[in-house]
């Protein structure tokens, strides 16, 4: 202890303390940060295979190291993927949005181009670039464990203004849109809330907790399960399609009967 | 069945007393009743009332029948609906809302939909019948407008019909606001916004209607009274006046041989129309019931209980209110502050426009009578192409209405067409000014083209596409002449008569009159017709000669 007390007024001591403090803060942060830096169970081989896939399919826009690219005019070709995490990759690639078919206001959903193994490898690689949200566990997205009533309230307040009360989707500005939520896998719904793909805001755990996300998934599941008790839903788009139906199908039926009744007896 | 002609204004007291072998008791009883009630005369009057026959005359009936269906289904709904804003916790069968807080109005709507037998069907019948009611009113109005049926003596009845349309809109709005779901609350919020936008009086009006701050606890019970008592009573009253005037004026008829402004050609109410109308009621009811049993409408459980914060994507009013939303979506967000008061031009301008737009429709009969100076009674309808300016104006009005409706659906269309909502909004803004003008002139030209075509048809008959080459090389097409009945309709158009300025006619009025009448196709005169028929028969004679005997089927008249 004597040696320490002798040196505690040494000019370098402050630097040492600062370093120790930084290491401690970083260490505590690393220990308590919400998500692991890598997808669980990803091996070094997965990451290497993911890198090969990335170079072949993604690097054109996102850059060879996933750092993002801009064209000569400074427009973004592909954003940086450092820190987007495995969840973002699983959502974008798993729903077929990436690799993008063509540039436009927003990536469109299509048949996935990568199989599950390839998606996992890509996710492992991108997760290795920097810490980010990981793919949720099966329990975290299980509709049976969520509360649809709570989820419904969260959904109506946070989601329906873009995705429509029935999850039928809606328009955003300049050709962007909020896609329909019917037929979407629970984990993709979770990942979308977590990572905010395309024009969607991020709903991280401090906005909507992990349990609440599961509640939303449970509500959407209940909506889909209930179907349309009243008959044809007409796309669940509300009064406009109902009005169109009245002016086309119903009016045609009425006109048909009117012509029939108005016809002269032969 | 023979066609009956009823002379306008003739007395109907010459009813024959056909003794028959009536049951003695019935005869005595009926006589006893008749001497005290005097129903026989009334029954005879109505039974022998003549109505002309045409399918396009039946949309007013559709509106009437859907109103009856609305009354029947509405009575059922009032048995279960609770018009109250009291907060309750839902414990019904619809799982995704169990335990949610909501108003009694919303809870009773869910109860009605999911737990009352036939409740959902009745709700859907009521709502679909409301849409059909308004569709039928619009189609009926179009028919009346484009055939000029609103002309003297029916201008007031047009106003009554217009009143029915407006009441129908209020009935619809007050009705779909009752379930207190998110969508209906959004509609009320817009109504509140419209009131607040009125300078000076706005906030007072809003507090008066809602009994305080929006939404408060009073609006649902108040709308309920309006919806089930005031509006239906007013509609019933106006329907009574509408039908009484119809009986007094007698029905209009399309032009045809033997039909004049002084008679009605058609069938008697009994038995022909009582059977047809009775059957038609059940057909309309059947169609509405079929649609309601198979097609969902206003699934309130999806929208959730009303809460002033959320607004769902794709929130639109029912179709007959769409145009009001369209203007609000299309106008830029203009507002200015004058003497500390905010003037929301983005609301005031559309509202003023809707007022003028609807007033034009309501007052059109008077406007046209002023322009044409026509003071005669009209019971024979115009064919739309014979009055190009009126038809053009009507189609232009519809085009504005449609653009406003499209404006209100810009978000749904942007998705359906994969276009940018901003581009669509600009397209509608420009179309709002350009399309009605274009549509007016295109319609007018089309009408004149049809007139020209009908003139040719009257003079030369139908082209058969059979061409005969004569011995000298001349090519002649065989024309099938029209029957006298068909030709009658084509040569009986009203004569052209613009007002001239002077003699109490202002310059503006003379100009308007000239605009209304100046483009027209010279009507067929008897001399034209004789000449054309002679020419036709001469040609036909040559053709007959060439192709020999046995062509009697091309005989001219």
Give how many domains chain B has, as a whole number. Answer: 2
Rounded CA separation B454/A207 (Å): 71
Q: Is the pLDDT of residue A222 over 80?
A: yes
Q: Is A127 in the same domain as A185? A: no
Mutate to test the interface with B, among A106, A158, A230 (most CBs of B within 10 A): A230
Q: How many CA atoms lie within 13 A of B326 on its CB side?
A: 27
CB contact A144 to B (< 8 Å): no
pLDDT recorded at residue B8: 55
Which of A254, A160, A231, A242 has its CA nearest to residue B322?
A242
Q: Is A124 in the same domain as A173? A: no
Rounded CA separation B244/A175 (Å): 54
Q: Of the residues A114, A135, A156, which one is the last residue of a structural domain? A: A135
Q: Is A70 in the same domain as A124? A: yes
Q: How far is A170 from chain B (nearest CA, A)?
A: 6
> H or E segment at B390?
helix B388-408
Which B residues 54-83 touch A at CB under 8 Å?
54-59, 62
pLDDT recorded at residue B551: 47
Q: Is A193 in the same domain as A125? A: no
Q: A35 in a domain, yes or no?
A: no
Q: A175 in a domain, yes or no?
A: yes
Q: Is A191 in the same domain as A220? A: yes
Give how many domains chain A has, as a whole number. Answer: 2
Q: Is the pLDDT of residue A209 over 90?
A: yes
What helix, strand, coil percent values describe chain B, rounded to 5? 65, 10, 30
Q: Of the residues B248, B277, B308, which one is the last residue of a structural domain? A: B308
Q: B422 in a domain, yes or no?
A: no
Evaluate the omega torsion of the peptide bond into residue B215 and state whether it is cis, within 30 degrees of 0: yes
Q: B516 in a domain, yes or no?
A: yes
Q: Of the residues B308, B327, B343, which one is the last residue of a structural domain? A: B308
The conformation of residue A185, written as its DSSP 8-state character, comes to -
Q: Is A129 in the same domain as A143? A: no
Whichever domain contains B198, its CATH number is 1.20.810.10
Instruction: Find the CB nearest B97 among A149, A231, A253.
Output: A149
CB contact B303 to A (< 8 Å): yes
Residues facing residue B409 across a β-bridge: none
Question: Where does B197-284 show beta strands of DSSP type E?
Answer: 263-268
% residues pLDDT > 90 (chain A)? 62
Its pTM stands at 0.87
Q: B286 in a domain, yes or no?
A: yes
The conformation of residue B463, written as its DSSP 8-state character, comes to E
**pLDDT tens, N- to C-terminus, chain B (557 residues):** 344 555 554 444 444 444 556 567 777 877 888 888 777 888 888 888 888 888 899 999 999 999 999 999 999 999 999 999 999 999 999 999 999 999 999 999 999 999 999 999 999 999 999 999 999 999 999 999 999 999 999 999 999 999 999 999 999 999 999 999 999 999 999 999 999 999 889 999 999 999 999 988 999 999 999 999 999 999 999 999 999 999 999 999 988 888 888 888 888 888 888 888 899 999 999 999 999 999 999 999 999 999 988 999 989 999 999 999 999 999 999 999 998 888 999 999 999 999 999 999 999 999 999 999 888 899 999 999 999 999 999 999 999 999 999 999 999 999 999 999 999 999 999 999 999 999 999 999 999 999 999 998 988 888 888 888 888 888 888 888 888 888 888 887 666 677 877 777 888 898 998 899 888 888 788 888 888 888 888 888 888 887 764 444 544 44
Give contacts of A230 with chain B, Cβ < 8 Å: 120, 124, 295-297, 299
Give contacts of A105 with chain B, Cβ < 8 Å: 420
pLDDT band at A2 (very low <50, low <70, confident <90, very high): low
Mean pLDDT of chain A: 88
pLDDT recorded at residue B493: 66
Evaluate the omega torsion of the peptide bond into residue A99 and state whether it is cis, within 30 degrees of 0: yes
Which A residues 155-174 touch B at CB under 8 Å?
156-157, 160-166, 168-174
Evaluate the omega torsion of the peptide bond into residue A212 and state whether it is cis, within 30 degrees of 0: no
Give contacts of A256 with chain B, Cβ < 8 Å: none
Q: B409 in a domain, yes or no?
A: no
Whichever domain contains A204, its CATH number is 1.10.760.10
Q: Is A63 in the same domain as A117? A: yes
pLDDT recorded at residue B557: 42
Show the domain range for B508.
Answer: 444-554
Q: B28 in a domain, yes or no?
A: no
Report residue B498: phi and psi, to 5°. Answer: -75, 150
Vertex B312: Cα angle to B309 and B313 (nearest 5): 140
Work out the end-to-end distance of chain B between its first and last CA atoms, rounded to an integer number of angstroms. 28
Q: Please indicate if the annotation marks A58 as binding a ligand.
A: yes
pLDDT recorded at residue A33: 60
Show the domain range for A57.
Answer: 42-135
Q: B106 in a domain, yes or no?
A: yes
Max CA pair span of chain B? 96
Q: How far is B65 from chain A (nearest CA, A)?
A: 12
Instruction: Let me know: does B100 contact B80? Beta carbons within 8 Å.
Output: no
pLDDT recorded at residue B445: 96
Q: A65 in a domain, yes or no?
A: yes
Q: Is A47 in the same domain as A131? A: yes
- Mean pLDDT calculated for residue range A132-156: 93
Rounded CA separation B176/B186 (Å): 11
Whether residue B319 and residue A263 make contact (CB cut-off 8 A), yes or no, is no
pLDDT band at A118 (very low <50, low <70, confident <90, very high): very high
Q: Is the pLDDT of residue A5 over 70?
A: no
Give contacts of A170 with chain B, Cβ < 8 Å: 313-314, 411, 415
Q: Of the residues B308, B343, B373, which one is the last residue of a structural domain? A: B308
Q: Is A125 in the same domain as A201? A: no
Q: Is the pLDDT of residue A99 over 80?
A: yes
Give contacts of A171 with chain B, Cβ < 8 Å: 313, 410-412, 414-415, 421
Rounded CA separation B150/B368 (Å): 10
Q: Of the residues A71, A102, A135, which one is the last residue of a structural domain? A: A135
Question: Where does A106-214 show beta strands of DSSP type E?
Answer: 170-171, 177-178
Q: Please indicate if the annotation marks A174 as binding a ligand.
A: no
């Amino acid at each position: 202890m004597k040696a320490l007390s002798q040196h505690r007024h040494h000019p370098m001591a402050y630097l040492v303390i600062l370093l120790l403090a930084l290491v401690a803060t970083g260490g505590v942060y690393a220990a308590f940060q919400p998500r692991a830096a890598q997808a669980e169970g990803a091996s070094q081989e997965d990451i290497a295979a993911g890198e090969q896939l990335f170079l072949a399919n993604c690097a054109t826009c996102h850059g060879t190291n996933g750092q993002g690219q801009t064209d000569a005019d400074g427009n973004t070709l592909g954003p940086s993927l450092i820190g987007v995490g495995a969840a973002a990759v699983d959502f974008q690639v798993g729903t077929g949005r990436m690799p993008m078919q063509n540039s436009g206001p927003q990536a469109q959903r299509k048949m996935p181009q990568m199989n599950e193994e390839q998606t996992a490898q890509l996710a492992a690689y991108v997760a290795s670039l920097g810490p980010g949200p990981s793919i949720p566990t099966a329990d975290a997205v299980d509709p049976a464990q969520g509360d649809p009533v709570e989820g419904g309230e969260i959904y109506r307040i946070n989601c329906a203004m873009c995705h429509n009360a029935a999850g039928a989707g809606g328009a955003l500005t300049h050709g962007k849109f909020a896609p329909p939520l019917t037929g979407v896998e629970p984990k993709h719904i979770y990942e979308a809330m977590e990572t905010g793909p395309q024009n969607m805001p991020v709903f991280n755990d401090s906005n909507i907790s992990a349990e609440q996300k599961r509640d939303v998934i449970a509500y959407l599941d209940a909506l889909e399960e209930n179907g349309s008790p009243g008959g044809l839903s007409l796309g669940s788009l509300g009064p406009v399609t109902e009005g169109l139906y009245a002016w086309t199908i119903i009016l045609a039926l009425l006109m048909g009967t009117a012509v029939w009744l108005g016809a002269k007896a032969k | 069945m023979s066609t009956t002609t009823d002379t306008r204004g003739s007395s109907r007291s010459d009813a024959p007393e056909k003794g028959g072998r009536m049951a003695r008791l019935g005869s005595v009883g009926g006589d006893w009743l008749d001497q005290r009630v005097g129903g026989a005369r009334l029954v005879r009057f109505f039974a022998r009332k003549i109505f002309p026959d045409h399918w396009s005359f039946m949309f007013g009936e559709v509106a009437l029948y859907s109103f009856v269906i609305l009354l029947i289904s509405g009575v059922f709904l009032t048995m279960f609906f609770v018009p109250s804003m009291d907060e309750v916790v839902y414990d019904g069968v619809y799982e995704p809302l169990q335990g949610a807080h909501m108003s009694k109005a919303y809870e009773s709507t869910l109860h009605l939909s999911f737990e009352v037998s036939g409740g959902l069907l009745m709700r859907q019948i009521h709502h679909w019948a409301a849409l059909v009611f308004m569709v039928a009113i619009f189609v009926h109005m179009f028919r009346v407008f484009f055939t000029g049926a609103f002309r003297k003596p029916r201008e007031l009845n047009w106003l009554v019909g217009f009143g029915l349309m407006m009441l129908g809109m209020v009935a619809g709005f007050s009705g779909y606001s009752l379930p207190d779901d998110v969508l209906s609350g959004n509609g009320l919020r817009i109504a509140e916004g419209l009131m607040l936008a009125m300078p000076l009086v706005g906030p007072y009006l809003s507090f008066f209607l809602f009994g305080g701050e929006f939404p408060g606890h009073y609006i649902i019970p108040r709308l309920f009274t309006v919806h089930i008592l005031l509006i239906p009573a007013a509609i019933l009253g106006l329907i009574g006046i509408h039908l009484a005037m119809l009986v007094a004026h007698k029905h209009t008829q399309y032009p045809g041989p033997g039909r004049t402004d002084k008679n009605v050609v058609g069938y008697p109410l009994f038995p022909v129309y009582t059977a047809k109308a009775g059957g038609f009621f059940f057909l309309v009811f059947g169609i509405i019931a079929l649609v309601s049993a198979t097609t969902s409408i206003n699934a309130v459980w999806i929208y959730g209980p009303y809460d002033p914060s959320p607004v769902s994507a794709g929130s639109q009013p029912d179709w007959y209110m769409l145009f009001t939303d369209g203007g609000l979506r299309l106008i830029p967000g203009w507002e200015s502050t004058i003497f500390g008061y905010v003037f929301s031009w983005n609301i005031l301008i559309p509202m003023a426009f809707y007022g003028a737009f609807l007033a034009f429709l309501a007052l059109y009969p008077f406007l046209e009578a002023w322009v044409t100076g026509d003071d005669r009674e009209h019971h024979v309808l115009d064919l739309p192409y014979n009055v190009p300016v009126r038809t053009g104006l009507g189609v232009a009005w519809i085009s504005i209405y449609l653009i406003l409706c499209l404006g209100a659906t810009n978000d749904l269309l942007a998705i359906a067409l994969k276009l940018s909502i901003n581009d669509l909004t600009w397209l509608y803004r420009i179309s709002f000014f350009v399309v009605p003008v274009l549509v007016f002139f295109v319609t007018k030209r089309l009408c004149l083209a049809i007139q020209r075509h009908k003139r040719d048809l009257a003079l030369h008959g139908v082209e058969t596409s059979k061409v005969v080459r004569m011995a000298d090389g001349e090519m002649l097409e065989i024309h099938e002449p029209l029957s006298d009945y068909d030709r009658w309709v084509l040569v009986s158009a009203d004569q052209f008569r613009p007002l001239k300025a002077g003699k109490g006619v202002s310059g503006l009025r003379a100009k308007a009159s000239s605009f209304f009448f100046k483009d027209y196709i010279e009507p067929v005169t008897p001399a034209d017709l004789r000449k054309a028929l002679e020419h036709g028969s001469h040609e036909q004679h040559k053709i007959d000669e060439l192709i020999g005997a046995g062509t009697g089927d091309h005989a001219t008249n």
